[in-house]
Amino acid sequence: MTEVKREVFGQMPQEEGGGVVEKFILKSDSVKVEILSLGCIIAALEMKGRDGKFSDVVLGFDTLEGYTRKHPFFGAVVGRVANRIAKGRFTMEGKEYQLFLNNGPNSLHGGAKGFDKVLWTPQVLSNGVCFFRLSPDGEEGYPGDLKVWVTYTLSGRELAINYRAQTSKTTPINLTNHAYFNLSGQGSQDIYDHEISIDADSYLPVDDTKIPTGEVATVQGTGFDLRQPVELGKHLQKFHLDGFDHNFCLQQAETRHLVARARHPPTGRAMEVHTTQPGIQFYTGNNLDGSLKGKGSVTYPKHSAFCLETQNWPDAVNKPHFPNTLLQPGEEYNHTTWLVFSAA
């Protein structure tokens, strides 16, 4: 059985349009998740270690104020298009679109005010919560009225996140959740003792602005071969890597399949990622720098968390040989990601 509670988390500032931000608490016997109506943010996720004790394993803030200030998308649903679009530009049906540039020369995670910074309309379900919003035609430069539903459901050890969307005009779309995990507990200083595996034979090399070059490269014989579990700290040292911020190319299956696993041997905590998406962005918190004070007033230094963002491939709208990212009127975008938590 999943218990679902809702409570007021805070009030948006007047300059942001006011509005009440609610928090939804989903609780099973092994996992407890707190989700905000602002940006569909996963604000806390508590899971058991092998000692049976609960620990919060996602980065974030204790109060709404933290989330209304600039932060690196902690826990949020990002869109219309997650990840980067080169030069914030794309051409579709003969028309060029220019988006806001918020990541050097590129557009990142939806632009200046993406899905992470707006209030969603919640509906409580028996085992979760469904959030809805209408992204109006022209919002952040994107075409079409886009109706979006993001549904979180918790059953036992499994948190499912389903994304659905319908549009009035052809539009690129790519939705993901940007939770930052540290399985030893949020506030732990690094993730070097985590074991990571990603079931991908290829990855996308990027240029110095993190835009894929267009090459689909084999992981074989490189530091990107994570098909067998690696201990992160030792692996980064061995291959002289500053960290990961790359898309791994998954098997093109519309059905649920296991794509990644993270494990923290000292506590026994583990997390599996299953998805219907064609890609997963593995990010090791390279841009965290200790300047943000998070929950319990702890700081979040570099490499103190990882993200496993299931998604379409970055800049797919400008790369015809990447999986299709365009949603047509009359079609439905529908993807699900399942996070399965365990302790052994």
CATH number reported for the structural domain that contains residue 244 in this entry: 2.70.98.10
Residue with tokens 């491939």: 313
Question: How many C-beta atoms lie closer than 10 Å to residue 148's C-beta?
Answer: 23
The per-residue pLDDT for range 92-101, each reduced to its tens digit, is 999 999 999 9
Q: Is 116 left (phi over 0), alpha (psi -120 to 50) or beta?
A: alpha
83 appears as a binding residue in the annotation: yes
Residue ranges of alpha helices (H) inside the chain are 64-68, 232-238
Q: Which of 34, 140, 195, 309 is catalytic?
A: 309
pLDDT of residue 254: 82
Question: How many C-beta atoms lie closer than 10 Å to residue 30's C-beta?
Answer: 17
**Cis peptide leading into residue 256 (ω within 30°):** no
Instruction: Note if 215 is an active site residue.
Output: no
The per-residue pLDDT for range 253-280, each reduced to its tens digit, is 889 999 999 999 999 999 999 999 999 9
- Angstrom distances, CA of residue 309 to CA of 83, 99, 280: 9, 22, 5
272, 280 Cβ separation under 8 angstroms: no
Q: Which of 22, 46, 178, 335 is catalytic?
A: 178
- Digit-by-digit pLDDT tens for the chain (344 residues) are 999 999 999 999 998 889 999 999 999 999 999 999 999 999 999 999 999 999 999 999 999 999 999 999 999 999 999 999 999 999 999 999 999 999 999 999 999 999 999 999 999 999 999 999 999 999 999 999 999 999 999 999 999 999 999 999 999 999 999 999 999 999 999 999 999 999 999 999 999 999 999 999 999 999 999 999 999 999 999 999 999 999 999 988 889 999 999 999 999 999 999 999 999 999 999 999 999 999 999 999 999 999 999 999 999 999 999 999 999 999 999 999 999 999 99
Q: How many domains does the chain have?
A: 1
| DSSP 3-state of 274 | strand
Half-sphere exposure of 62 (CA within 13 A, CB side): 8
135, 171 Cβ separation under 8 angstroms: no
179 appears as a binding residue in the annotation: yes
**Domain region containing 284:** 3-343
84 appears as a binding residue in the annotation: yes
pLDDT of residue 252: 84
Instruction: Note if 309 is an active site residue.
Output: yes
| DSSP 3-state of 77 | strand
